[in-house]
Chains A and B, each alone.
Chain A
Amino acid sequence: MNAPQRSAGAAIEIRKASKRYGAFTALNDIDLHIRPGEFMTLLGPSGSGKTTTLNLIAGFTDISSGTLEIGGKSVTGLPSHKRNIGVVFQHYALFPHITVGKNVAYPLALRGIKGEDRDKRVRRALDMVKMADFAHRYPNELSGGQQQRVALARALVFDPPLLLMDEPLGALDKKLREWLQLEIKRIHRELGTTFVYVTHDQEEALVLSDRIAVFNGGRIEQIGTGRELYDNPATLFVGRFIGESTVLRGTAEAAGSDTVMTVGDRKVLAHGRLAGDARPVILLRPERVALKRPGADAVAGENRLTGAVAEAIYLGSGSKYEVRLRDGTVAVVRSPLGAPDFSIGETVDVAFMPADLTLLPDDASADVTLT
């Protein structure tokens, strides 16, 4: 049942790449190094440049400046049909006038692979996506999820060293999407091909990827594993885009090697200081914050801000609260199972340790994109 030896995944090296359309710059001087066999997700809101980057790698559009190497060789000027890359598109792009089997066989026929060898490889590809019984059907007889699986088989049947996927699950419903995410992960593990995946859904990125590159406004803000991006976001945009967070703003002063920020009427201590003179904000992850009765259960060194519960949601695995603080900021808090319950309207203290927060330079664009 195991697939025979496949070509190892290709590495991708993008250096100082820019893409301009007339006066509009879609990509601004980006650097991206994708390791062989890695599952890299390009994550960001619409118009952030992630799809443009995929277009460049695929050869659907030309780079304006910078270099692009795939598998150690420069591909600038190389047309897409010579790059030997598999591409899966958001709306499947299956050829409607031929059967599923012929669709999957198409790239093999182009490469001169015929007869029994071809049939065997088509069958293997369809088996991999669990669509072997549909070889004689036509694409319009299949559901969206089935078509996407066939598209995946077609893109992989010729053993490309690189697979590109452009929001392939965007048109499918939630349960199907979740199931297919796991299938894609499984196939990636089996094949060892380099996967580059584009999405705007940060949860999807966290499920699938080895590493994630976060795009914003034509630039890459941070590249790292999901854990790195979540625990140590490099910019406010990344902190806000990945997972949930609370952002505290106020006037800040240095205090030795720490920072003290006045939020509303309270002072908050944060470990560390920002380099340069950027105005700092404090980013808090919901799991690092606890809700306590005002003044009760004090712990040495902890920060406390008072507010009123605006929203209380029971999640089974715990509870999630939204607390409106005195200065108007809404804090998002996740309480584990067993923690005390609070009801809407109750006055509470939001408590967190100085080491459990992240100091980041303020960035006006970070909040706008998330509405």
Chain B
Amino acid sequence: MPDRPALLTRLRPRGAVWLAAPAVAVLLLVLAYPLAIVVWRSFTDPALGIDNYVWFFQSAVNRTVLQRTFIVAGWVTLASLVCAYPYAYAMTIAGRNMRLALILCVLVPFWLSGVVRTLAWVILLQDSGVINSMLRGLGLSPVKLIRTLPGVVIGMTQVLLPFMILPIYSVMKGIDTRLLQAARSLGAKPWRAFLQIYVPLSLPGVYAGVIIVFILSLGFYITPALLGGPRSTMLSSLVQNQVLSLLNWGRGGAMGVVLLVATFVLLAMAAPLMRQKHSAARREA
């Protein structure tokens, strides 16, 4: 349909795009160029070729770390999803004050500095820490959580949980509850209505949250470094080690590129998924 203007047509001067030039310049300098260097060095340091990548994938230790990084990311994503979904749902059905309280609980963690938060988890998880004190108080035997993978998962989940809750909540907010009522009036039991109508409509938010949390987990660095021990090293720690301690840009770069590629592949897979489902929800809702 041709562009029929109202009196106050949005004037679209072609010059507007150039306002973004300073931002793009900053990104070129401090993002594009450094990333290009990383990729470049992964293929040229110490010699031209794919030696660094070969080294990375051949080493059993490295492969374990890679595997572990993905597995941990998977566990964290799953744990976040399990915690976030009911929480987000509760936020939609809560009264005004309760909802405010719930939202506050999601936002308050952001006010604590990221590094400090990790320290808090050290305190919570350590042998003489809070959790073990409570377990001892209940007469149960203490559990070793510090410097273990479960400990890392718990810590990372707490940090990333808001990133799962918020996208799911924002989609759930838009779901028309009358659809559930309609389903029930047609004879569906409450649980069926929920599973067959509500859950599918909430999926765009779930996909968004899952992708965000998984990608962030892959790149996570501080928390696993402080909470985990040598047997729970993640890929990002390896990268840091290669570059900062060993000054080996080739190998560090290669691992960085692996992380980068994994991230972008996930994003590419997720984008069409979210767009398609999103429009379906809009059409139905």
Answer yes or no: A54 CB below 8 A from chain B CBs.
Answer: yes
A21 CA to B6 CA in the complex, in Å?
Answer: 13
- Contact mask for chain A residues 188-206; partner B; CB cutoff 8 A; 1 contact, 0 none: 0000000000100000000
Which of A23, A26, A52, A93 contacts B8, CB < 8 Å? Answer: A93
A21 CA to B3 CA in the complex, in Å?
Answer: 7
A23 contacts B7, CB within 8 Å?
no
Which of B3, B7, B8, B11 contacts A198, CB < 8 Å? Answer: B7
**Closest CB-CB distance, B224 to chain A, in whole Å?**
48
B interface majority secondary structure: loop
Residues of chain A lying within 8 A (CB to CB) of residue B11: 60-61
Answer yes or no: A51 CB below 8 A from chain B CBs.
Answer: yes
Answer yes or no: A369 CB below 8 A from chain B CBs.
Answer: no
B8 contacts A21, CB within 8 Å?
no
**Closest CB-CB distance, B27 to chain A, in whole Å?**
33
- Among residues of A, the one whose C-beta sits closest to the C-beta of B7 is A166
- A-B interface contact total, Cβ < 8 Å: 38
**Closest CB-CB distance, B99 to chain A, in whole Å?**
26
**Closest CB-CB distance, B1 to chain A, in whole Å?**
9
B7 contacts A24, CB within 8 Å?
no
**Closest CB-CB distance, A171 to chain B, in whole Å?**
13
A22 contacts B2, CB within 8 Å?
yes
A55 contacts B5, CB within 8 Å?
yes
- Among residues of A, the one whose C-beta sits closest to the C-beta of B4 is A47
- Among residues of A, the one whose C-beta sits closest to the C-beta of B1 is A24
B8 contacts A89, CB within 8 Å?
yes
Answer yes or no: B59 CB below 8 A from chain A CBs.
Answer: no
A interface majority secondary structure: mixed
- Contact mask for chain B residues 1-24; partner A; CB cutoff 8 A; 1 contact, 0 none: 011111111010000000000000
Chain A, interface size category, equals 20 to 34
B7 contacts A90, CB within 8 Å?
yes
Which of B2, B4, B5, B7 contacts A89, CB < 8 Å? Answer: B7
A61 CA to B11 CA in the complex, in Å?
Answer: 8
Residues of chain A lying within 8 A (CB to CB) of residue B5: 21, 26, 51-52, 55, 61
Interface size on B, residues (CB 8 A): 9
A166 CA to B9 CA in the complex, in Å?
Answer: 12
Residues of chain B lying within 8 A (CB to CB) of residue A51: 5-7
B4 contacts A26, CB within 8 Å?
yes
A46 CA to B6 CA in the complex, in Å?
Answer: 10
B9 contacts A55, CB within 8 Å?
yes
B7 contacts A60, CB within 8 Å?
yes
**Closest CB-CB distance, B6 to chain A, in whole Å?**
6
Answer yes or no: A291 CB below 8 A from chain B CBs.
Answer: no
Answer yes or no: A248 CB below 8 A from chain B CBs.
Answer: no
**Closest CB-CB distance, A144 to chain B, in whole Å?**
17
Residues of chain B lying within 8 A (CB to CB) of residue A21: 2-3, 5
Answer yes or no: A163 CB below 8 A from chain B CBs.
Answer: no
Answer yes or no: A94 CB below 8 A from chain B CBs.
Answer: no
Residues of chain A lying within 8 A (CB to CB) of residue B4: 26, 46-47
B9 contacts A23, CB within 8 Å?
no
Residues of chain A lying within 8 A (CB to CB) of residue B3: 21-22, 24
A55 contacts B7, CB within 8 Å?
yes
Answer yes or no: A58 CB below 8 A from chain B CBs.
Answer: yes
Q: 10 interchain pairs (CB within 8 A)?
A: A22-B3, A24-B2, A26-B4, A47-B4, A51-B7, A55-B7, A58-B7, A60-B8, A61-B5, A90-B6
3 nearest A-B residue pairs (beta carbon): A24-B2, A166-B7, A21-B3
Interface residue ranges, B against A (CB under 8 Å): 2-9, 11
7 further interface pairs, Cβ-Cβ under 8 Å (given A21-B2, A55-B9):
A22-B2, A24-B3, A26-B5, A52-B5, A60-B11, A89-B8, A198-B7
